[in-house]
Amino acid sequence: MENVAQMKNGKDAILHMQTSVMGKVLRVDRHQGFIYTSIICPAIDEFSKPEIVKIKSKQMIGITDEVLKSPVVCIVGGYQKKAYKNNDGESIIPVDITLTALE
């Protein structure tokens, strides 16, 4: 909503490790003092499926079924999960990507 950073042009444009997200709010969850907003993004073309992302924030981004009027600027982060071996004996280290609203 108002206090979440919105995308701008020029000197305030998106910086390294930032991205912007547009779409429709699917659901809003609260956990340990943060708000997690799941957003379905428009498909890139009529033959692609829409992507769904989850954004962590301190303030509300939107309510369920709301179409965002402007992009939400997010910091891209991530972390490694516990390694495991697949059926071929190869070591796999999963990485999860996180999006945190720039507020």
- 15-64 pLDDT tens trace: 789 999 999 999 999 999 999 999 999 999 999 999 999 999 999 999 99
Average of per-residue pLDDT across 77-95? 96
The C-alpha atoms of residue 42 and residue 9 are separated, in whole angstroms, by 21
In a domain, 93, yes or no: yes
In 3D space, the residue among 93, 54, 50 whose CA is nearest the CA of residue 72 turns out to be 54
Average pLDDT, the chain: 91
pLDDT value of position 11: 56
In a domain, 50, yes or no: yes
Burial class, 44, CB count within 10 angstroms (exposed 0-12 / middle 13-18 / buried 19+): exposed
- Decide if pLDDT at 8 tops 70: no
Burial class, 33, CB count within 10 angstroms (exposed 0-12 / middle 13-18 / buried 19+): exposed
Quote the number of domains for the chain.
1
Average of per-residue pLDDT across 8-16? 63
In a domain, 53, yes or no: yes
Structural domain range at position 34: 10-101
In a domain, 81, yes or no: yes
Tell me the CATH number at 89: 2.40.50
pLDDT > 70 fraction of the chain, expressed in percent and rounded? 86
